[in-house]
Amino acid sequence: MTTNEASLYEEQAKIFKRLSDQISAMLERFGRHDSLLGLGDYSVVDDYGGYPQVKISIGNLELLQPHIIKQLQKIVKEFPGWEIVIAVAVRGHYDDWPDMGLTIRAREIVDGLQRQYFPKEFQNIRYEGSKPGTDRD
């Protein structure tokens, strides 16, 4: 890693921290973060991995409601080039549900939710401006 790359990395890590702090503050209004004292509704991965994205693991499907996703998109719009990745990880379904989730970017939402696994009340969730896809899109 050259000095330039190192300073860019440091800069990106700072942006990551700002973005993940804003996401955490927003989600706190709707659920409880996992902690060592017990699992909550979601967790924000707080380790910057060298890629402009923040990952959230969601264990409570209520957090997939369109108005919450819209607010996350509003946050990420302030961070050009960054994205929020939401992985659905519901306790009790780690093994029998496939990997699925959403990728939220400023101008689009990649929707990879496999709703057939969800309880009925969550099967009709739709996101404005979304397109179907995978986590590689």
Partner 1 sequence: MTPFKPEWLEHRRRRYTRPDASRYFRPDYERYLRPDHARFDGRQTYEPKYRPDQPYGSEESALAAHTSELLKLKSELDRLLLLRAAIRLEQLRRKAGFNPAQPRVPAGNADGGQWTNDGGGGAAPRTGALGAIKVAESFNPGSHHFVPQSLFNKLPLPPETRKVFDEAKTAPLLSERHGWSKEHRIYNDAITEQFDRFMKENSIRPEEMAPDQARRFVEEVKRSSDPRIRGLNMRIYMREIMYWLRRVPRGNE
> Of the two residues 69 and 100, which places its CB atom closer to partner 1 in the complex?
100
Return d(Cα 51, Cα 121) in angstroms, integer.
34
> Of the two residues 36 and 121, which places its CB atom closer to partner 1 in the complex?
36
To partner 1, the closest distance from the beta carbon of 45 in angstroms equals: 5
Interacting residues toward partner 1 by CB under 8 A? 1-3, 5-7, 9-10, 13-14, 16-17, 20, 24, 33-39, 43-51, 53, 55, 57, 59, 85-89, 91, 94, 99-101, 112, 135-136
> Of the two residues 62 and 135, which places its CB atom closer to partner 1 in the complex?
135
Strand duo 130-132 + 109-111: pairing = parallel
To partner 1, the closest distance from the beta carbon of 38 in angstroms equals: 7
Long-range pairs of 15-20 with CB within 8 A, sequence gap ≥ 24: 15/52, 15/79, 15/82, 16/48, 16/52, 16/54, 17/48, 18/79, 19/54, 19/75, 19/76, 19/79, 19/82, 20/44, 20/45, 20/46, 20/54
To partner 1, the closest distance from the beta carbon of 39 in angstroms equals: 6
